[in-house]
C-alpha cells in the first residue's frame, strides 16, 4: 500500500501518460492506458485524503505536460516576463488539478461502487472546468479520441459527454485488472463500439462542384516582430500580395478572403487607407479580417467584414476573453511586477463583446458564426440564436509557440466542426490555417510557420447534430442523476 508522498509519483506518471493522448503526440492508446491505471490507483487508496492526493497528482502531471505551451507567451517579451514562465505553468497545472482532486476526494466518500462514483464526479469536474471562473476546457479527457474516428461521437454527446463515456470505459477496464472479467468484457465491447461506431458515423466526402471559393491568408508574423514598426509594413504588404494573387488549382477568384486575428496594425476607425488597399486587392471578393477597434475608452479585439469603398459591412467583437492575456484581473495588484506586459497593448486590455452572433458573408457563402482565437475552445460559445452555414475562426497562434499549442488549438477546432456538423474556415497568423468539413476532416491546410495562402471550395453544412440542438444541459441532468445514485445511501426495507 502506497503511503504519504509515495502516492504522488505514480499519480504524476499516470497523469503524464494520459497527456500523451493530446496533440502533437496523439498516442491515444497510451493515454487510455494511463487513464485505466489512474482508475486502478484510485481503487487501492484508503480514505478520502489519500484519494485527494492521488487525484491532485494525476491532474498536475496531466496538465503540466499537456499545457506545456503556456510558457510560450512569456518568451515574447522575455526580458520582462520570461522568469514567470515556469511559475505560470506549475501554478496553472496545480490549480486545474484541484478540479480532479475534489472529484477523487468526493468519490472516495461514496458509500459503495467507488469507481462508479469517480466516473460521475470526474466527468462533473471536467464539465465544471469548462464553465467556472470563465472556463478553461483545454485538453479535456475525451479529446484523446481526436486522432481516431471515435471522435465522431461528439456530434451526439458533445465533448463533455464523450469524456463521461471515456471515463466509464476506463473504470470498466480498471475493474478487469482486479479480476472483474465481466467488467473487462463490457469494457472491450464499449471500446469496440466507440471505434466501430465512430467509423460508421463518418460521412463520405461531399461533392464540392459549384461551391463558392474561399481564400485563407497566412502571413507568418512571429509575435516578437508582429508589432515592430520595422516589420509591420512587411507583413501588411505580404497579406495584400496574397490577397491579390491569382487563384490556385484552376479555381475562380475567391468570393471571400480571410485574414487572421489582429491582421491590420491600426484601429478600425483609423484604417480607411489600409482597408481601401485591401478591398482593391480582393476584387471582386469580400474580406474578413482581424482588427482592433475602440469605442470611447473601451478597446475590442474584433473581426470586420469589408468590401469595396471601403465599406465595413459587419463587425464582431470577441466576447470570451483570455484572462491575463486580453484583460487583467486585479491589474493593479500585478502592475508593479509588470505582468501587464503580456496583456493586450491597449492599457487595461480589451472589453468583451455582447456574445455569439452571426455575420452574413453574402452570396452562396451564407451566415458565419465568428470565433476569435480562444473562443473555439468552448463548445458552449457556438450556441447562436440560429444555425449558421459555417464556422469562421481567425486566430494568432504565434502566442502558443511551435510545438504543442498550435496543434492542440487546431484539434479543438476540428472537434467544434464535428459537434456542430458545420464546415470551419481557420485563418491563423503563423498557422495552422485550414479548411475543415463538418466531419472534422482537414481538406486543405498551410503548415505551421509558413507564409502563403490557400484557395478551396467551401464544403456545405452536414445535417444538424444532436449536440448542436441540446448543448450540455442533458449531460448535466444525467450527471446529477449519477451523483445521486452514487452518493445517496439506499434505504433497506424492514419488516
- Phi first, then psi, for residue 301 (nearest 5°) are -90, 110
Residue 472: partners with Cβ closer than 8 Å, 6 or more residues away: 127, 158, 160, 161, 379, 380
Per the DSSP assignment, residues forming a β-bridge with 393 are 371, 426
What would the grid cell of residue 178 be? 482486479
The answer to whether the beta carbons of residues 73 and 325 sit under 8 Å apart is yes
Active-site annotation holder among 72, 126, 255, 261 = 261
Q: How far apart are CA 50 and CA 54, in angstroms?
A: 6
- DSSP-based three-state secondary structure for 488: coil
The answer to whether the beta carbons of residues 443 and 425 sit under 8 Å apart is no
Other residues' Cβ atoms within 10 Å of the Cβ of residue 329: 11
Q: How far is CA 139 from the centre of its chain?
A: 8
Active site residue 311: no
Per the DSSP assignment, residues forming a β-bridge with 312 are 306
Residue 491: partners with Cβ closer than 8 Å, 6 or more residues away: none
The dihedral of CA 175, 176, 177, 178: what is its sign? positive
The answer to whether the beta carbons of residues 211 and 459 sit under 8 Å apart is yes
* DSSP at 310: T
Residue 20: partners with Cβ closer than 8 Å, 6 or more residues away: 27, 30, 31, 34, 65
Active site residue 318: yes
What would the grid cell of residue 9 be? 509519483
Active site residue 261: yes
- DSSP-based three-state secondary structure for 313: strand
Active-site annotation holder among 14, 126, 255, 373 = 373
Active-site annotation holder among 114, 255, 318, 326 = 318
* C-alpha distance from residue 403 to each of 24, 60, 325, 399, 442 (Å): 7, 20, 20, 11, 19
16-32 b/e (C-beta count within 10 Å ≥ 16 → b): bbbbbbbbebbbbebbb
Q: Which residues are annotated as catalytic?
A: 261, 318, 373
Amino acid at each position: 500500500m502506497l503511503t504519504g508522498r509515495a502516492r504522488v509519483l505514480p499519480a504524476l506518471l499516470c497523469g503524464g501518460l494520459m497527456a500523451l493522448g493530446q496533440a502533437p503526440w496523439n498516442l491515444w492508446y497510451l493515454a487510455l492506458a494511463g487513464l485505466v491505471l489512474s482508475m486502478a490507483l484510485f481503487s487501492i487508496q484508503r480514505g478520502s485524503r489519500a484519494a485527494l492526493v492521488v487525484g491532485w497528482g494525476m491532474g498536475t502531471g496531466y496538465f503540466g505536460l499537456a499545457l506545456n505551451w503556456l510558457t510560450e507567451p512569456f518568451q515574447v517579451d522575455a526580458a520582462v516576463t520570461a522568469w514567470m514562465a515556469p511559475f505560470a505553468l506549475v501554478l496553472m497545472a496545480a490549480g486545474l488539478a484541484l478540479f480532479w482532486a475534489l472529484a477523487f476526494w468526493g468519490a472516495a466518500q461514496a458509500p459503495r461502487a467507488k469507481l462508479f462514483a469517480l466516473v460521475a464526479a470526474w466527468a462533473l469536474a471536467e464539465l465544471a472546468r469548462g464553465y467556472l471562473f470563465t472556463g478553461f476546457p483545454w485538453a479535456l479527457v475525451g479529446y484523446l479520441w481526436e486522432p481516431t474516428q471515435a471522435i465522431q461521437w461528439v456530434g451526439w454527446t458533445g465533448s463533455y459527454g464523450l469524456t463521461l463515456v471515456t471515463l466509464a470505459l476506463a473504470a470498466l477496464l480498471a475493474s478487469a485488472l482486479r479480476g472483474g472479467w465481466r467488467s473487462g468484457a463490457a469494457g472491450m465491447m464499449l471500446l469496440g463500439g466507440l471505434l466501430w461506431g465512430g467509423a460508421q458515423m463518418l460521412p463520405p466526402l461531399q461533392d464540392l462542384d459549384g461551391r463558392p471559393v474561399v481564400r485563407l491568408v497566412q502571413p507568418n508574423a512571429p509575435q516578437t516582430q508582429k508589432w515592430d514598426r520595422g516589420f509591420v509594413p512587411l507583413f501588411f504588404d505580404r497579406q495584400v500580395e496574397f490577397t491579390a494573387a491569382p487563384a490556385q488549382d484552376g479555381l475562380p477568384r475567391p468570393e471571400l478572403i480571410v485574414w487572421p486575428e489582429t491582421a491590420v496594425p491600426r484601429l478600425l476607425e483609423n484604417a480607411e487607407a489600409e482597408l481601401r488597399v485591401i478591398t482593391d486587392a480582393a476584387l471582386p471578393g469580400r474580406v474578413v479580417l482581424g482588427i482592433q477597434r475602440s469605442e470611447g475608452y473601451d478597446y475590442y479585439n474584433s473581426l470586420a467584414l469589408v468590401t469595396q469603398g471601403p465599406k465595413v459591412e459587419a463587425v464582431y467583437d470577441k466576447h470570451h476573453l483570455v484572462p491575463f492575456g486580453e484583460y487583467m484581473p486585479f491589474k493593479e495588484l500585478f502592475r508593479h511586477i509588470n505582468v501587464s506586459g503580456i496583456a493586450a497593448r491597449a492599457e487595461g486590455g480589451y472589453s468583451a463583446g455582447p456574445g455569439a452572433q452571426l455575420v452574413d458573408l453574402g452570396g452562396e457563402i451564407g451566415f458565419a458564426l465568428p470565433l476569435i482565437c480562444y473562443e473555439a475552445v468552448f463548445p458552449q460559445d457556438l450556441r447562436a440564436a440560429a444555425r449558421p452555414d459555417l464556422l469562421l475562426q481567425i486566430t494568432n497562434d504565434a502566442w502558443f509557440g511551435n510545438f504543442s499549442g498550435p496543434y492542440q488549438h487546431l484539434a479543438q477546432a476540428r472537434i467544434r466542426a464535428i459537434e456542430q456538423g458545420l464546415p470551419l474556415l481557420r485563418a491563423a497568423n503563423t498557422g495552422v490555417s485550414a479548411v475543415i468539413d463538418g466531419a472534422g476532416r482537414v481538406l486543405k491546410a498551410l503548415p505551421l510557420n509558413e507564409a502563403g495562402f490557400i484557395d478551396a471550395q467551401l464544403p456545405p453544412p452536414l445535417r444538424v447534430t444532436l449536440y448542436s440542438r441540446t448543448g450540455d444541459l442533458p449531460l448535466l441532468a444525467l450527471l446529477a442523476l449519477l451523483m445521486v445514485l452514487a452518493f445517496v445511501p439506499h434505504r433497506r426495507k424492514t419488516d
